[in-house]
Amino acid sequence: MTIPQILLYLMLVIYFASFWKIFEKAGRKKWEGLIPVYNTIVWLQIVKKPWWWFFMFYIPGINFLLAIGMNLELARMFGKYSAKDTLMAVFLPWYYIPYLALSQDEWEGELSWEVEEDRKKRQLSDHIGLALISWGVGHALVLVLRLLGSKDKEGKKTMVKEWYDALGFAIIAAALIRTFFFEAFTIPTGSMEKDLLIGDYLFVSKVSYGAKVPNTPLSFPFAHNRMPVLNTKSYLEWFTFGYHRLPGLGEVKRNDVVVFNFPAADSSINEAELGAHTFSQIINDRAFNTWLGNSGKTSYDPSYEKVKDTYVNSVKNIYRQDPGIVHRPVDKRDNYIKRCVGIPGDTIKIVDRVLYHGNNENPLNENAQFNYRFRVKTPFNEEKLKEKFDINYITNQVGQNVGYQYSRDGYVTLTLTAKAYNAISKYPNVVSAEVMNKEKGYYGNQVARSAMHSLKYFPIFPNHPTFDWTEDNFGPLYLPKKGDRVELTERNFILYRRAIEVYEENDVQQKDGKIFINGEEATHYTFKMGYYWMMGDNRHNSADCRMWGYVPEDHVVGKAGLIWMSKDPQSGFRWDRIFNFIHD
């Protein structure tokens, strides 16, 4: 059996396996959908077709056309009459039938003649368009098939046919491997140094935690969320799947290095360089600084909260017009890689840069880094620092090199491991050295040093003046488990609102000190998913959960497993890192 045949049979298994759910929605027994031959008989009964059609499934050619018709009938039973649904049922049934099985769409059964006629009239224009498309596609397929099926005078396949077979197999096989087994990723920023370096190329295992069923299966192969060059969407949302995960080898554990979809990218500014930034923080910062300029103030004042919505909406309108705002499904949000330092059920806190689970300290990885401030008599030799400690230029949270930041009074900031700090602090040109540390209340007490100096509007989660936490002093914060029933108070609702409203898709409102979820007053909430806490090992130069909050379980992509190539942006290939496994 060839590999293409194996892939074909795999698609058929997935297709027929979805019948158990289809049959259940139709009022039949689940097991009836899983028994070969018998499920075909039941299928005919469900769509109200004669029993003798069963024998037509054994006539070559006829069975293919019959299957198309049966798929269409199933779609109709779910009330799917649009041109889009018709196209999906005809050309992509291995996606569409499982979608009907897993979706929230209800079985409508046999429609009355009047209702069906009315629907047909309302969909007339769609079907005219469909007919024209089908006519064009049909003629194009005839030409392509003639070309691909052509042989030379000796009866051998033409070069076009051979290339088509090879390319088709390669694309299908690579797409399946990328979706369900493992995927290649690149490290673009220094947030995980020194464990993962800028220029590392990784293989990420999706079977470690179980591969997610794609939310948007109709997408351009090997493009994540934007088409190369065009910067347009690389996927269609004609139909989408909810959250479903295949069985995996295990669960996310503390200290795993995890790839996940960036939770805060449900809305993003339509610019490639801003796609992975926190949309709400960009809006909040710009709105806050506009208010500072208009009010003449140089620091935060609680009076801003009274007019905040006006300024935020004004900034949003600017971005909506140019370059625009895009809203992405979970699987098309940008990929991030961090270390999992908190799992569902943990209560985490950070005290002077040290992370705790409850009262237990979470030991720092030996390669963890912080920013250190040195006062020096003479500048460091940058080449020697690079050679001895592999110290790159200090990077900001988006991976941009911003130099060593020497100040006029002889201060310099370096990003270092504890080992490197202890060695460099003993250098004869060092006058003093200290680790940088922000106490709670830091962001509420910022002062604009000049008219051109921008301030951050509470950039640490939950991005609210009630919790003026910092990246060095944070929490305590409880990470909900799936099934947790949590009492909602005015204070903790600030912490959990985004999870309840955005990640778990509830309509949430707050009126007169009361909380309403889906129109009903709520004093408690039961979480549908578990939530993780991810942080970069380069603690002072990592945009992570401290800035935008939890990572829901449906955003977890896979576990980083192997570095297959590594190239330093300054010095070239790192041969000693190639084929290194990534350890916890």
Using DSSP, state whether 13 is helix, strand or coil: helix
Mean pLDDT of 105-125: 52
Cα separation, 298 vs 449, in Å, equals 8
The pLDDT score that the predictor gives to residue 458 is 93
Beta bridge partners of 261: 335
Mean pLDDT of 554-566: 89
CB atoms within 10 A of CB 98: 22
Q: How confident is the model at residue 482 (pLDDT cuts 50, 70, 90)?
A: very high
Cα separation, 320 vs 279, in Å, equals 12
Lowest mean pLDDT: which of 360-364, 399-403, 414-418?
Answer: 399-403
Mean pLDDT of 570-582: 78
Q: How confident is the model at residue 14 (pLDDT cuts 50, 70, 90)?
A: confident
Cα separation, 240 vs 16, in Å, equals 19
CB atoms within 10 A of CB 276: 19
350 Cβ partners below 8 Å, 6+ apart?
A: 356, 471, 472, 473, 474, 475, 546
Chain Cα centroid distance, residue 484? 24
State the chain's mean pLDDT as an integer.
81
The 3-state secondary structure of 310-331 reads HHHHHHHHHHHHCCCEEECCHH
Strand pairing class (520-521; 508-511): unpaired
Q: Which of 69-73, 452-456, 521-525 has the highest mean pLDDT?
A: 521-525
Q: Is the pLDDT of residue 68 over 70?
A: yes
Lowest mean pLDDT: which of 207-221, 311-325, 441-455?
Answer: 441-455
Q: Is the pLDDT of residue 118 over 60?
A: no
By residue count, the chain amounts to 584
- Percentage of the chain beyond pLDDT 70 is 81
- Whole-prediction pTM: 0.73
56 Cβ partners below 8 Å, 6+ apart?
A: 62, 63, 66
Q: Is the pLDDT of residue 141 over 60?
A: no
Crossing angle between the packed helical segments 304-321 and 279-295, to the nearest 10 degrees: 120
Lowest mean pLDDT: which of 340-349, 355-364, 429-438, 571-580?
Answer: 571-580
More confident residue, 180 or 287: 287
